[in-house]
Amino acid sequence: METLYHQTNKHIQEVQSMMGHLEKTDRQSVHLLENDLQARIDQIFNHLERLEILVSKEPLNRRQNAKLRVDQLKYDVQHLRTALHNFQHRRYDREAQEREREELMSRTFTTNDADTSIPMDETLQQNSNLHNAHRGMDDLLGSSSSILNGLRDQRSTLKGTHKKMLDVANMLGLSNTVMRLIERRATTDKFIMIGGMLLTCVFMFLVIRYLG
């Protein structure tokens, strides 16, 4: 398991480094880099599936720590995948905006035709504002998705930590009062997490409805 873990961690670091070259890559080559990054991310997810199987076979005294390490790798690669998708959405928007601008500029307008004499500057500005609004919404949705994924990962971590603390408490023979305090704190953290997720969902709904 250790060999696969370190190999997967190395792949994640390589993807992080390659992500920094996306903005600097020319338009003819950027889609090749995107495809390479997507293939590497898919391979990392395959490694994570194998790691989760190996974690379940670890001894009990090492299983919880191994699971936390794998969960951290999963969180890192999910963040990278979201960042790649956000970059692709922004690139698609830019290319669509440029195509529409070229189409507008290539049209023939006559001074005698009232239907075709459109104020070019105003039309281009409206088109730019519309794309900026869509791009902002895509960025917001991507960030909200990352937040929700992070909250889900924190929930799994809290559940594992809670179970581990109860196991340690049982081994040390702590009093029932202390154990109840631990359980009450875990329940409070759970409600806080759920409340945060609900507020994020409501905020996303309001933004989509307003921009729509």
pLDDT tens per residue across span 93-137: 888 888 888 888 877 555 554 444 445 556 666 666 666 666 666
Q: What is the mean pLDDT of the chain?
A: 76
φ and ψ of 23, to 5 deg: -65, -25
Q: Tokens 């009990």 map to which residue? A: 60
- Considering 20-34, 62-76, 124-138, the range whose residues carry the highest mean pLDDT is 62-76
Give the span between the Cα atoms of 124 and 128, in whole angstroms.
6
At 109 the pLDDT is 53
Give the span between the Cα atoms of 11 and 42, in whole angstroms.
11
pLDDT tens string 136-182: 666 666 666 666 666 666 666 666 666 666 666 565 554 566 666 66
Give me the domain span that covers residue 167.
1-106+159-211
Is 88 inside any structural domain? yes
Counted domains in the chain: 1
CATH number at residue 19: 1.20.58.400
List Cα–Cα distances, 128 to 93, 96, 137, 140, in angstroms: 10, 11, 14, 18
Is 139 inside any structural domain? no
Is 16 inside any structural domain? yes
Is 67 inside any structural domain? yes
Is 41 inside any structural domain? yes
19 or 138: which carries more pLDDT confidence? 19
Structure tokens at 117: 């004499």
Is 18 inside any structural domain? yes
pTM, two decimals, is 0.48
Count the alpha carbons within 13 Å of 30 in the hemisphere toward its beta carbon. 16
Quick one: how far is CA 184 from the chain centroid? Answer: 31
In this prediction, residues 67-77 reach a mean pLDDT of 90
Is 118 inside any structural domain? no
SS (H, E, C) 99-164: HHHHHHHHCCCCCCCCCCCCCHHHHHHHHHHHHHHHHHHHHHHHHHHHHHHHHHHHHHHHHHHHHH
At 150 the pLDDT is 66
Is 145 inside any structural domain? no
At 116 the pLDDT is 46
